[in-house]
Amino acid sequence: MPEEIRDLPGGQKTSPGPYLAKIVSHLDPTYMGILEVQLLHEVGNDEARTGQLHQVKYLSPFAGQTNVDFVGEDPDDYNNTQKSYGF
């Protein structure tokens, strides 16, 4: 069975996830929803080692819109407009 591996800086290889993480900081000066997290490993983290904190962003599970080909002539009629969905 194939195994999916991700290359990390420094030549390390790891699984693509998902991972359990502890939020270390939620302060984001750009207000874009960036979190600073510490990955939780089964054997524990070595607090003396650097590079274990990662900045992550929220990924919406889905989003989309209806096809523009089905837009009608009257833009004031809900049934004739393009709709979007997701969050």
Residue 27: its pLDDT value, please?
94
Q: What is the C-alpha separation between 36 and 47, in angstroms, rounded?
A: 15
For the chain, the helix, strand and coil percentages under 3-state DSSP, each to the nearest 5: 5, 30, 65
CB 30 within 8 A of CB 41: no
Region class of 10: left (phi > 0), else alpha (psi between -120 and 50), else beta: left
For 12-67, write each residue's pLDDT tens digit: 666 666 778 889 999 998 998 899 998 876 555 555 565 678 888 877 778 888 88
